[in-house]
Amino acid sequence: MNFLNKIFNFIFPEFCKLCQRPLSYNEILICNNCFPKLPFLKLYCQKCGTPLPDHLKNLLSYKEINYCSYCQTQKFYFNKTFSAFYYKKPVSDWIISLKFGKDFSLGYKLGKLLKSVFIDKIPAFDLVIPVPLSSERLKVRGFNQSFLIAWGFLGKRPSQELLKRIKYTKPQTELSQKERWKNVKNAFEANLKVKNKTILLIDDVMTTGATLNEASKALKKAGAKEIYVLTIAKNTLN
Ligand SMILES: [Zn+2]
Ligand SMILES: [Zn+2]
């Protein structure tokens, strides 16, 4: 953190979103005291991100759980999933403010927070790609929340040319599990520049994994080598 950032922080202090204490220049969204209170996703399937029962922690190191019963019924094109939190307060409130309150800086900061959580855990990658919105949805919303998160994570503007939506889809939140898979089928197309590259594919929330899986399918079809999925939160349908 450079000197100018410290000055900026002194003039325009930010406050912890939980306890309202002024943040120091190296704290993101919440203070270090409140950080452990966030709903961290501790034990989950490393392949698909499905949360696993806590008692398994005693049997295995979470690093070893590379597939679960959901993975056995569903083919996933991505190789690994990294999700920081359960979709619970305050994280769920932040995501709602980002999407519907148009709080752009929140997207950037969530990306930075993701980086601080996963800095040592994500293997090396070549490209960071945010899951794109359809052009219709982009017109209505005015921005893509995944793009802002990816920007914060990467510390620079990520490319939006490598993955496109080629089909209009209904919002996944309005659909059942089965409908979600059908809705996003063949919705994406990837640029051939992803060939032989390891991709970090970023979205705000993963629920069934249908959207991230279709995006991964398009990337793999274009020759991507490995795909790691990264999301702020993991939600469940029930
Ligand atoms: Zn705090
Ligand atoms: Zn799994």
Q: Which ligand ends up closest to the CA of 68?
A: 2
Distance CA 176, CA 49 (A): 19
Distance CA 15, CA 143 (A): 25
Cβ atoms within 10 A of the Cβ of 112, count? 17
Enumerate the domain spans of the chain.
Answer: 1-37, 38-234
Cα(16) to centroid(ligand 1), Å: 5
Per-residue pLDDT band at 63 (split at 50, 70, 90): low
Average pLDDT of 145-164? 95
Cα(227) to centroid(ligand 2), Å: 15
Q: Which ligand ends up closest to the CA of 15?
A: 1
- Has residue 60 got a pLDDT over 70? no
CATH of 38-234, one of 3.40.50, 3.90.550, 1.10.3470, 1.10.3210: 3.40.50
- Has residue 57 got a pLDDT over 90? no
Distance CA 192, CA 127 (A): 13
